[in-house]
Structure 1
Amino acid sequence: MKRTLSLILFLSLCVIGFAQDKRPNIILVLVDDLGFTDIEPFGGLDVKTPNLSKLAAEGTRFQEFYNNSICAPTRASLLTGQYAHKAGIGYFNVNLGLPAYQGFLNRESLTLGEVLKNAGYSTILSGKWHVGDDYDQWPAQRGFERSFGFIGGAVNFYEINDRENPSVPLLKNNEPFYLPKDRYLTDEITDQAISFLHEQDNEQKPFFLYLAYNAPHWPLQAPEEDIQKYKGVYQHGWDSLRTDRYHQAIEKGVFPEGQKIAKRDSTIQLWDKLTYDEQQYWQRRQQVFAGMIDHVDQSLGKLLATLKELKKDENTVIIFLSDNGAQGGERTRIYTTRNTETVGRPGSYDVQNNNWSQTGNSPLRSFKDNPYEGGIGAPFIVWYPKEVKANVIKKGTGHIIDIAPTLYDFAQARYPETFSTIKTNTLSGVSFRNLLSTNQNQIDRSKPLFWERAGNRAVRHGKWKLVSLYSNNYQVELYNIDEDRAENNNVADQFPEVVQELENLYAQWAKETGVVDYDRIKPQRNLLR
């Protein structure tokens, strides 16, 4: 009888302790191909994002937050806290024959789902995966108890085929899912996430939701009512809007006052030189892009309402960021064999171009898939009113490798040295939780930040940033980011000792991380979709 009573008491205490788990819920929102000033809190006042503005006003923004310049490598680092090569996705989600370039997450690099599930969290994913195509690499096999979305890098936002040959191949908990006709994928991603949260509400433990939207990635498609909201907004073109965004970014405090805008890309036509019909065509394309962002913001509004309904709004951390800068590319870049409709509608297949993308990345330089600030700089917002300072902008200088240790800090989750008998890679980043609740302005780290992608390289160490491009035969460029975040003035010739130091640091990092010369693994053809 005593043993029975003791057991009952022990189990009761366990249940009480479990029910009183006060650790915060966590929502990690990742959008795709969003430029630095493509939302209101970062200077894009032409795009209506009231819910993101709310998160920013009640949370903290970073002026400098870095990604890996392109989809799959960014997601690899975001999900594991590793540099992309260390996680197995140094190039893209294609296998190039070496461990650092195998094209899917290795088992030594634990995902947020695996670590947080092991720490007692319910783990949920809704949206884009893109870090492993085969069955054993899917979300459900990498720690996510509930999952919905698509496995690859890009997909239509509307289903235009039948169930036997879907144009939007989706999975829900490893089972095929058919997107109903006329249903917009952003809505389905949101509603599936909300449905999962309602299911999880009965589990009496905190949740982690990875909400990975594919918007505003191509193809440019949005509900017509959202497109029409922006009719006439872009009639003055990309040249004037790019300058407006620059001034608005300074006014918002997300770009340093006194610094100049990046030099204009010479490949872009002057808006005033276009014909009337060309201007109408390009306006429509930017209206669609804005509509896609607008719809994501509406979705976040639904999510915030759900948190309030479930009485979890006061104990949930929300982090919002983009996987890279806005998409570059010259002229129209239309997939003519796929494009059967007007841009924005089901059946269209248009892509964002340099012209509007330079505006999206304004005042920063360059585009997605480049290590300049416009390629690797992302808008970044953290919201957690219980702890995070409200309406604060910090320099930050964070990187996606810092997300995992920060979330584990919030979750009181131990990152294991071994997992299923496999020795794990140690985390590369640092937690910035303390920065969010104090007067600290910048992440304190002992090591520089590094980038390598398709031969393009960069190092950020203090105020200095070293850049060298494969296409430019690795000619060295050096920028003082504290004075010239637009990267207009290459000062490599003036500071050869700094160049040498950063090159040495890069060489050591490359050796430790498995980076090899790009010519050794360079694909024979373009493998990117």
Structure 2
Amino acid sequence: MMRRRDFMAAAAAAGAIPALSAKGAKRRKPNLVLILADDLGEEALSCYGCESWTTPRLDQMADEGVRFTHAYANPLCAPSRVKIMTGRYNCFNYTAWDYLDPKETTFANLLREEGYATAMAGKWQLGGDLKIPDRFGFDEHCLWQIDDKRGSRFYEPLVERNGTWLDPEKQPYGPDLFCDFINDFILRKAREGQPFLAYFSMALVHRPFHLPPGYRAEGQEPNDPEGRLAYFKTMVEHMDRLVGYVLDTVDDAGVSAETLVLFVGDNGTVPLEIVQHGETVRGGKGKPTEQGTNVPLIARCPGSTPPGTVCGDLVDLSDFLPTLAEAGGAPVPDDVDGRSFLPQCLGREGNPRDWVFVHYNPRLNDKVTPARFVRGKRWKLFGDGRLFDLHNDPHEQNPVRPGEGDTSALQARRRLQPVLDRMPCDFQTE
């Protein structure tokens, strides 16, 4: 059962995206573009203080919109992708690695019901068969890892496009192929005047370390300590370039003022040492730490997103479904856990979260230790009772045990513990 919320009226009151076809014309639904980078913590972007390389197009996107500093994902990709698609915490719907239950409802399902043309390109990693993208709401798709045929996602990629397997030897570099598909979709739908949702689930910057086309790293090997960082640098730079191509396509299509573009990472960076704000930060992919879960989030819609804004509100991946639904005037299922951050994208106060909850049981292998936590901006409480003061202990080295700590620690525990108590737990390490 779905409940209908008058999202467009609420958005209009908050200063909605001015998607007008002509002066005095009826307001149109805004176009929506979601770009999800693979294995990218916030320390890997220069607009977040990275000093190891620059990301000029994402910096530009942040200059033209809103950059969020407290966005959080699951520590690994598959659980994050289930969460962002469904708006639900993993403890309620994540049952296996590389799998999304066909009974689930995604943001694409909701928006297609509202008249949106929908497309997805890039990394799937949600299981199923060749018909499953349509079941989850996508009219068109160009995807890697759509079933057990994994293959390469980069050079000679094994890709399925709208029901047809492409010849790997005849395809360009995978990330470029996916980007071209998304850009073609945007241009076609802009010409047709139909509101669109484009989900670009990027293959970059996931391992294996390699050089994208046109890049060089002389004297380096991709798997030695220095080579890993040198090759990763080129992968980040190419990812940034592809994001720029999408932004340019939106601009060239003449729909930038009516198109909300969201960019976010799916989990922390691989364990490489990156200089951020003068400090060496080691990527935390796979770990329920700040470096494993804090990801970049940027929103851009010229004329609606206040340029150069930095927002410190807490955002969770479950918040993307209600945000996209609110922008598109779609109903939201009653079991959705997220809340919309569309008002914050538009420079309004909105209804910020008090906490973020992460349930981390990826069901991948015995090497991954499950964990769950709830956190505000300062305090982070794990299910095993460890409490961390992130302002004074950002690397989570000195846990405050139950019964210990000053008044602020005790108050934080009283505030956060009830959240954990009401969330189901499917493992027994706590």
TM-score category by the smaller chain?
Answer: 0.7 to 0.9
Q: Counterparts of 1:268-279 in structure 2 under 5 Å?
A: none
Q: Which residue of structure 1 lines up, in the alignment, with residue 298 of structure 2?
A: 381
Whether the 8 Å CA contact 1:76–1:89 is kept in 2: the answer is yes
Q: Supply the AA of the counterpart residue of 1:148.
A: C
Question: RMSD in angstroms over aligned alpha carbons?
Answer: 3.1
Q: Which residue of 2 aligns with 1:203?
A: 192
- Report which stretch shifted further, 201-210 or 113-122: 201-210
**Residue 287 of structure 1: aligned partner:** 230
What 5-or-longer segments of structure 2 have no aligned partner? 1-21, 362-368
Aligned to 2:352: 444
* Residues 482 and 119 of structure 1, relative CA distance in 2, 3 Å threshold: farther
Aligned to 1:432: 341
SS at match of 1:378: strand
**Residues 85, 130 of structure 1: alpha-carbon distance in 2 compared, 3 angstrom cutoff:** farther
Of 491, 513, 523 in structure 1, the residue corresponding to residue 400 of structure 2 is: 491
Range moving further from structure 2, 356-365 or 455-464: 356-365
Tell me what 1:405 maps to.
Answer: 322
Structure 1 equivalent of residue 13 of structure 2: none
Partner in structure 2 of residue 52 of structure 1: 58
How far residue 32 of structure 1 moved from its aligned partner, in angstroms, is 0.5
Identity of aligned residues (%): 25
The residue number in structure 2 matching 1:414 is 331
2:426 corresponds to 1:516? yes
Q: How many residues align?
A: 393
1:307 to 250, 273, 282: 250
Q: CA deviation at 1:33?
A: 0.7
1:129 aligns with 2:134: no
Matched, 1:62 2:91: no
**Hey, what does 1:114 align to over in structure 2?**
109
In proportion to residue count, which structure has more strand?
A: 2
Letter in 2 for 1:112: F
Q: Distance in 2 between matches of 1:46 and 1:287?
A: 10
Question: Is the Cα contact below 8 Å between 2:65 and 2:298 reproduced in 1?
Answer: yes
Offset at residue 156 of structure 1 (A)? 2.5
Aligned residue for 1:225, secondary structure, equals: coil
8 Å contact kept, 2:74–2:266 = yes
- Alpha carbons of 1:319 and 1:280: their partners in 2 closer, same or farther (altered >3 Å)? closer
1:181 Cα deviation from its structure 2 partner: 4.9
Once the two structures are superposed, the pairs formed by residues 444-463 of structure 1 within 5 Å of their partners are 444-445=352-353, 449-453=357-361, 454-461=369-376, 463=378
CA distance in 1, matches of 2:95, 2:318: 14
**How many angstroms apart in 2 are the aligned matches of 1:217 and 1:56?**
23
Is this contact kept in 2: 1:122–1:205, CA < 8 A? Answer: yes
TM superposition score normalised by structure 1: 0.67
Task: Name the structure, 1 or 2, with higher relative contact order (CA <8 Å, separation 6+).
Answer: 2
1:502 shift after superposition: 3.6
**Post-superposition offset of 1:147:** 0.5
- Answer yes or no: is the 8 Å Cα contact 1:358–1:367 preserved in 2: no
CA distance in 2, matches of 1:189, 1:307: 16
Give the superposition deviation at 1:283.
Answer: 2.4
- Does 1:92 find its partner at 2:97? yes
**Whole-Å Cα distance in 2 between the matches of residues 192 and 147 of structure 1?**
8
Contiguous gaps of at least 5 residues in structure 1: 1-15, 94-102, 161-167, 233-276, 328-353, 418-424, 469-473, 520-529
* C-alpha distance after superposition, 1:79-133 (max 9, x if no partner): 11111232x325522xxxxxxxxx32341x3111110100111101011111223
Cα distance in 2 between the residues matched to 1:438 and 1:214: 31
More helix by share: 1
- For 2:39, the equivalent position in structure 1 comes to 33
User: Is residue 131 of structure 2 the alignment partner of residue 216 of structure 1?
Assistant: no
Match of 1:178 among 167, 174, 193: 167
CA distance in 1, matches of 2:161, 2:377: 44
TM-score by length of 2: 0.82
Contact 2:357-2:372 at 8 Å conserved across structures: no
- Secondary structure of the 1:321 match is strand
Q: Deviations over 1:226-258 (max 9, x none)?
A: 234xx69xxxxxxxxxxxxxxxxxxxxxxxxxx
Say if 2:38 and 2:267, in contact at 8 Å, map to a contact too: yes
